[in-house]
Amino acid sequence: MAFLELKGVEKFYGKLRAIKGVNLAINKGEFIVFVGPSGCGKSTLLRMIAGLETINGGQLMLDGKDITHEPSSKRDLAMVFQSYALYPHMTVEENMSFALRLAKVAPEVIKEKVSKAAEKLNLTSYLERTPKALSGGQRQRVAIGRAIVRQPKVFLFDEPLSNLDAALRGQTRVEIAKLHRELGATTIYVTHDQVEAMTLADRVVVLRDGMIEQVGTPLELYDRPANRFVAQFIGMPQMNVLPVGMFPKAGNVYEVGIRPEHLTIVGANEGQLRGTIELIEALGNETLIHVNLGTAMIIVRQYERTRSQLGEQVGVQFDPAHLHRFDKEGKAILDGNKLAGAAA
């Protein structure tokens, strides 16, 4: 049985239906990441699980218990906020022990738990400081420490890294992954950063307009996206999607998608597609070549340096096995007619 289960969960703001009947089952110990564009409802959904937003329909079950209408304080969940939300008038130690003190845990036990967590997070020498005397990264670690000392049923993270600079973000991401491996705690993590989603998640939940588009492991989403939206949302640069008119028509296929790394630049008279190079982005470890096909633009990713020039006529080659096919509604056609490899 699922540890945390959302059954047809709904949220209304006045007449606006913000969360539209979400169903999701999360297993114990799983690391789940909610991703989606801004305004897709990922943070709202997390806050509904936290009890910070009321649930207007459906049911929320935790460990076999209905917690749909339980107040946050009784749900036994811990949350790490984007803004850290540390108590400014308390020291690091007081911040981390606050929940345990409220729960009337014995002082010796509190001390032990806090010092253990502080050690794990490299905070031991900062325990007496107040949050304002800490750097952004340290504050974030205190916020995480405050969550882990409690050993809650589920950890909730609301875009916890978005206030950190790029270097620190990478480092903290690795630390969070390590912590999860050590603690094995059930975790729900909201982000709009797909690198975080791909690297941290056991399963990723892609949301759009208050609905789940697809749930799956990071590579499942990458290799077998359920629809055009997921196909283009996961992966940077995004998947090239072309009208099927450029390919021999097959069944109810409406559009065809292919990832940039599955395309190769070849001589002007070779390959299945023809076009002109419009832009070359040399990033060092990879090169992104934008090719104008006349009716559409595609991006080709290659890991070698290129000798191609801007404005050069080139051919683009691909292995038809890597094509993704979508119907008129954007749904992926997974075992439909194989598309012939040759371009028109």
Partner 1 sequence: MQSSPNSSSGKLIIRTVAAWLVALILFFPLLFLAVTAFKTEGQAIAVPSLWVFTPTLENFVEVQARSNYLHFAWNSVVTSVVSTVLGLLIAAPAAYSMAFSPTKRTKDILMWMLSTKMMPAVGALVPIYVIAQTAGLLDTKFALIVVFTMSNLPIMVWMLYSHFKDIPHEILEASRMDGANLWDEFRHVLLPLGMGGLASTGLLCLVLAWNEAFWALNLGSAKAGTLATLVASYSSPEGLFWAKLSAASLMAIAPIIVFGWFSQKQLVQGLTFGAVK
Largest CA distance in the chain: 78
| Closest residue by Cα to residue 253 from 339, 341, 321 | 339
- Of the residues 64, 71, 284, 311, which one makes contact with partner 1 according to CB under 8 A: 71
When the beta carbons of 86 and 230 are compared against partner 1, the nearer one is 86
For residue 174, give Cα distances in angstroms to 167, 195, 317, 334: 11, 12, 37, 34
89 vs 328 by CB, closer to partner 1: 89
Q: Which of 42, 141, 150, 228 binds partner 1 (CB under 8 A)?
A: 150
Establish if 73 lies at the interface with partner 1 (CB under 8 A).
yes
Closest CA to 238 of 37, 43, 31, 42: 37
- The CB-of-129 to partner 1 minimum distance in angstroms stands at 13
Q: Which of 113, 146, 153, 259 binds partner 1 (CB under 8 A)?
A: 146
Q: Report the length, in residues, of the chain.
A: 344
DSSP, res 320: G
Please state, in angstroms and as integers, the Cα–Cα distance from residue 72 to each residue in 48, 191, 194, 325, following that order.
9, 22, 28, 44
3 lines the binding site for partner 1 (CB under 8 A): no
Stretch that binds partner 1, among 86-94, 118-126, 244-252, 294-302 (CB under 8 A): 86-94
Which residue number, 23 or 83, has a Cβ lying nearer to partner 1? Answer: 83
Helices assigned H by DSSP within 275-321? none
User: Which of 45, 78, 273, 314 touches partner 1 (CB under 8 A)?
Assistant: 78
Pairing of strands 65-66, 57-62: antiparallel
Nearer to partner 1, 118 or 291 (CB): 118
Q: Does 160 bind partner 1 (CB under 8 A)?
A: no
Asked if residue 239 binds partner 1 (CB under 8 A), the reply is: no
Per rule CB under 8 A, is residue 129 in the interface with partner 1?
Answer: no
Q: Per-residue x/- mask for partner 1, residues 39 to 68, rule CB under 8 A?
A: -----------xxx----------------
Can you say how many angstroms the Cα of residue 173 is from the centroid of all Cα atoms in its chain? 12
Q: Which of 38, 331, 31, 58 is nearest to 205 (CA)?
A: 31
Determine which residue in the list 45, 60, 79, 121 makes contact with partner 1, applying CB under 8 A. Answer: 79
Quick one: 76 or 196, whose CB is closer to partner 1? 76
Question: What is the token pair recorded at 304?
Answer: 């070698």
CA–CA distance, 42 with 12 (Å, rounded to integer)? 14
* Among 13, 102, 223, 267, interactor with partner 1 by CB under 8 A: 102
For the beta carbon of residue 235, count every other beta carbon within 10 angstroms: 18
Interaction of residue 132 with partner 1, rule CB under 8 A: yes
**3-state DSSP: the chain helix, strand, coil percent, rounded to 5?**
30, 30, 40
- How many residues at the interface with partner 1, by CB under 8 A? 26
The residues of the shown chain that bind partner 1, judged by CB under 8 A, are 50-52, 71-74, 76-79, 81, 83, 85-89, 98-99, 102-103, 132, 146, 150, 156
